[in-house]
Amino acid sequence: MKRILFLIIITCGFLFSYSQDSAWIRNNYHKKEVYITMRDGVRLFTSMYIPNDNTTDHPILMTRTPYSCSPYGEDNFRNFWSNHNRQYFKDGYIIVIQDVRGRWMSEGQFEDVRPFNADKRTKKDIDESSDTYDTIDWLVKSVAHNNGKVGVFGISYPGFYSTMAAASNHPALKAVSPQAPVTEWFLGDDFHHNGALSLIDAFSFYSSFGKPRPKPTIVGPSGFTFPVQDNYAFFLRTGALPNFSALMGDSIAFWKDLYSHPDYDQWWQARNARRAMYNIKPALLVVGGTFDAEDCYGAWNLFKAIENQTPETNSSLIMGPWYHGQWANNAGLSIGNIQFDDSTSAYYTEHFIHPFFNYYLKNEGDISNIKKATIFFSGENKWRQFEKWPAPNMQMTAFYLQPGGKISNSRPVQTNSFTEYTSDPSKPVPYTDGIHLNRTREYMTDDQRFASRRTDVAVFQTDILKTDITLGGPIVADLDVSISTTDADFVVKLIDVFPDDFAYEQPKNNYPMGGYQMLVRGEIMRGKYRNSFEHPKPFIPGKPTKVKFTLPDIAHTFKKGHRLMIQIQSSWFPLMDRNPQKFMDIYKAKDSDFQPSVIRIHHAAGNASAIYLPVIK
């Protein structure tokens, strides 16, 4: 009863604050909609929320988006007051939202992750950085009472446009925050992971987003109507990838491009946003979630690219225990069944993102609390700060797979030792338990007991830990495998096994947490790309072969009394498309091409498999 009363009080307080903020913004701001002309003559639709206060000059904070700057009409205000962005209104910012080229009310031709052009010679040589430059130039020259300082931020796809904004290097652009930024769509973000297609996300997204828009419009596209509410059943029944192409139709350009470029060729490489990260002038604050199902790769690796390619840039990284965008629209008290001690999102807002923009755009406050890397470590549930990332005291440590499902830091001594399972594409391993239509965001921390009970999942674990083990940085899977076919996928999952008597002091639900197998990090590797993403190579059936790949960074402490578990499997469905387990262009596969494969994970003296973990001493 006390908990219910507490929730009622909090809800009423939120609704009262919501109403107050809504009224305050409407009373103190006005909205203006304009078309801003780019250097090639294309006009981009732009909404501006401008303070009524003309007694002082105001900074400009902008988001560029393919998802619409709606609602349209100067009397219609966006619900900024529903999240922490309302604070920018209280601080007197001019808020700008722009439909990117070719989307919604903007003119021109849209291109997904339009490649950065470093060699612009004529007015026709445009990219997203030039569109940002031209927009900023117009804003600082045309909007009354601006202070000549501009910031840009965005989450997910708008995070990509934020990255491109940084590459514009307009002199008025002082601060940029790419958040969960789309960075690399073949290796790790959204639609591919190490060459494997993120089937459920790609099909669900592009069946609506990818529909052509012949002329500017305020009406969004309709999505695909799924015949069943069970995504596992739908995607399995649909079968091989050409069948999905038939459902998608001929009108969606990016879907056809995706099928036309099955390997990491120049077409994909040109769409790697990191290629633009040289000679960057504005300050950068990269933000992401350690449990972001869409763009976890982008946040970690964009920051590393900036550090390596433009070390003189003032750049920092904030990573919290969040799903995609949770830092901006949720308290951040939990994700799925995993709970944290405090509101991680409120902490981020108060200590990082607002001070960042206020410092660079208003000359207010200080940013002494923003170090090079500020990372929340789950398990121990606390923030840690570092002067570089990965941390200087991080040491890659081998955890060897052993016979009997064991893990140790010593190389195995047995000869001809392996764990075997049969990967059957007709019964792929699901990525999560239960029945869902949409891909869940919580799967990144889901209980893996459902998978450890399957015979086509290899399970290894340590003894009960006698001391804490803190991991911070990338994971490297170094597997020695043999398969009975010419191709297969390898999914490696790092799991925190809770004690049998574990329970939260204030549980938010009745889920049994004793013995919980928390997914900390999982990643897939399409086997044919083990040597090169550009030039795939078949396996020789039965021959031991090295499959080595890097998983995205983690930040987690395995507490004393827990166990560390590794699961290895060869399907992760329908999160990822099924491998026919035959060396071929999978986008041209037929239903008849799918075949079982006998997989062996070797853990012998001469064929040792190990997972290298980033141990922080």
For residue 343, give the CATH number of its domain.
3.40.50.1820
Peptide bond into 574 cis (omega under 30): yes
User: For strand 610-616 and strand 545-558, is the pairing parallel, antiparallel, or unpaired?
Assistant: unpaired
365 and 407, same domain (yes or no): no
Question: Is residue 201 a part of any domain in this protein?
Answer: no
Question: Is residue 246 a part of any domain in this protein?
Answer: no
297 and 432, same domain (yes or no): no
Question: Is residue 194 a part of any domain in this protein?
Answer: no
288 and 140, same domain (yes or no): yes
Split at pLDDT 50, 70, 90, the class of 329 is confident
pLDDT tens per residue, range 192-235: 999 999 999 999 999 999 999 999 999 999 999 999 999 999 99
Question: Is residue 145 a part of any domain in this protein?
Answer: yes
d(CA 275, CA 239): 36
- SS3 (DSSP) at 253: helix
Residue 138 has pLDDT above 50, yes or no: yes
Confidence (pLDDT) at 16? 43
Question: Is residue 85 a part of any domain in this protein?
Answer: yes
d(CA 32, CA 24): 18
Q: Return the percentage of the chain with pLDDT > 90, whole number.
A: 93
User: For strand 406-408 and strand 146-155, is the pairing parallel, antiparallel, or unpaired?
Assistant: unpaired
pLDDT tens per residue, range 333-353: 999 999 998 899 999 999 999
Domain boundary pick from 386, 411, 436? 386
- SS3 (DSSP) at 175: strand
Instruction: Tell me what the mean pLDDT of segment 521-536 comes to.
Output: 98
State the residue range of the domain holding 567. Answer: 394-616
Number of domains in the chain: 2
CA dihedral 586, 587, 592, 596 (to 10 degrees): 30
Question: Is residue 331 a part of any domain in this protein?
Answer: yes
For the whole prediction, is pTM greater than 0.85?
yes
375 and 407, same domain (yes or no): no
Split at pLDDT 50, 70, 90, the class of 560 is very high
d(CA 339, CA 335): 7
pLDDT tens per residue, range 18-59: 556 778 999 999 999 999 999 999 999 999 999 999 999 999
What is the distance between the terminal CA atoms of the chain, rounded to a whole angstrom? Answer: 44
Instruction: Tell me what the mean pLDDT of segment 81-93 comes to.
Output: 88
CATH code, domain with 417: 2.60.120.260
